[in-house]
C-alpha cells in the first residue's frame, strides 16, 4: 500500500482525472477527501471508493472562494486528520477566444478557478501539513502553460501561473519536508475534453497532431503520475513540472 496512513485532499474529484486519482489513492491505502462543486460527482466518487473497500468523505467546495476552501480544509482535518497529500486538480477549460476578443469576465473566471484555487488550496493546507511533519502537494498545470495555444489566453496564463507558483511553494516549504510539484497533462479523454470538442469524436488525423503515440491519454495515466508524486517513491522530486502529454510538446 503505497499511501498507507496518508490523508489526501483532492479537488475536482467528482469526475475525470480527479476521480481516477481519488479512486487510485484510496486503493493504495489513503483516506481521501473528495472535493468538488458537483454534488452528484462527489456522491459517485465516494460511492466508488467505498464499494472497493476504501475510505472517503465528500466535501462540496468552490475553490475560487476563500471561505469554501477554508471550510473544505477544516472539514478534512476534523473528519480524517491533517492532509499529508493535497492535489489541487479542480479546473475549468474557460471560454475559447482570441485574446483581443476574449471577454474580461471569461478571463477572470478561469484565473479565479485554475490559479487562485490552487493558491487558496496551498495557503490553507500548508499550515496543517507543517504540523503533520510534511507531505506532498500536487498542482494541476497543463502543457498550455508551456506552449502557445490559440484561443486559450486565460487558460494558458493560469496554468503558467500554477507552474511558477509551484516552484515558489517548493522553495518556501522544503525545510518543512513538504514537496510541491505540478503535472502538465496533454490531451486527456475527460468530460472536459468532450465539452471542448462539443461531443464530437476526434479524428485520428487531429489526434496525431497532438500525440506521437497517436492516441489521447487516459485519466488513470495522470492518476499514476500523481500517485508517484504523492508516495514516498517521489521523495526527492520537488519544484518540478511533470509533463504527461503523449509527446505533444515535442511536435
Residue 227 grid coordinates: 500517485
Please report, for residues 38, 176, 179, 209, 236, the alpha-carbon distance to residue 231 in angstroms, rounded to integers and kept in the order given: 28, 17, 11, 33, 11
Question: Which residue, among 11, 21, 238, 8, has the nearest Cα to 121 in the 3D structure?
Answer: 11
β-strands 55-60, 85-88: how paired?
unpaired
155 classed as catalytic:
yes
Q: Enumerate the β-bridge partners of residue 135.
A: 178
Q: Residues 6 or more apart from 130 whose CB is under 8 A from it?
A: 173, 176, 178
Residue 229 to residue 19: CA distance in whole angstroms? 17
Of 87, 98, 124, 155, which one is the catalytic site residue?
155
Q: What is the dihedral of CA 68, 225, 152, 12, to 10 degrees?
A: -20
- For cell 489566453, the residue is 153
Question: Which residue, among 133, 180, 141, 174, has the nearest Cα to 157 in the 3D structure?
Answer: 141
Contact status, residue 183 vs residue 222, Cβ threshold 8 Å = yes
Phi, psi of 180 (to 5 degrees): -130, 120
Find how far residue 100's CA is from the centre of its chain.
29
Q: Enumerate the β-bridge partners of residue 242.
A: 183
Q: Which residues are catalytic?
A: 155
Amino acid at each position: 500500500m503505497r499511501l498507507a496512513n496518508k490523508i489526501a485532499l483532492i479537488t475536482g474529484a467528482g469526475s475525470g482525472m480527479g476521480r481516477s486519482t481519488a479512486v487510485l489513492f484510496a486503493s493504495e491505502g489513503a483516506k481521501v477527501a473528495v472535493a468538488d462543486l458537483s454534488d452528484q460527482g462527489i456522491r459517485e466518487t465516494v460511492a466508488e471508493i467505498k464499494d472497493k473497500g476504501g475510505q472517503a468523505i465528500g466535501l462540496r467546495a468552490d475553490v475560487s472562494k476563500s471561505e469554501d476552501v477554508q471550510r473544505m480544509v477544516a472539514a478534512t482535518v476534523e473528519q480524517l486528520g491533517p492532509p499529508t497529500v493535497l492535489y489541487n486538480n479542480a479546473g475549468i477549460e474557460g471560454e475559447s477566444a482570441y485574446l483581443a476578443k476574449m471577454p474580461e469576465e471569461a478571463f477572470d473566471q478561469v484565473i479565479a478557478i485554475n490559479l487562485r484555487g490552487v493558491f487558496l488550496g496551498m495557503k490553507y493546507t500548508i499550515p496543517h501539513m507543517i504540523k503533520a511533519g510534511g507531505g506532498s502537494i500536487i498542482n494541476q498545470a497543463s502543457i498550455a502553460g508551456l506552449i502557445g495555444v490559440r484561443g486559450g489566453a486565460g487558460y494558458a496564463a493560469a496554468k503558467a501561473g500554477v507552474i511558477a507558483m509551484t516552484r515558489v511553494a517548493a522553495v518556501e516549504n522544503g525545510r518543512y519536508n513538504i514537496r510541491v510539484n505540478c503535472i502538465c497533462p496533454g490531451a486527456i479523454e475527460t468530460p472536459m475534453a468532450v465539452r471542448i470538442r462539443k461531443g464530437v469524436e476526434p479524428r485520428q488525423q487531429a489526434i496525431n497532431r497532438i500525440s506521437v503515440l497517436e492516441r489521447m491519454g487516459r485519466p488513470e495515466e495522470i492518476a499514476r503520475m500523481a500517485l508517484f508524486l504523492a508516495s514516498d517513491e517521489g521523495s526527492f522530486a520537488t519544484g518540478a513540472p511533470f509533463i504527461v502529454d503523449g509527446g505533444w510538446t515535442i511536435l
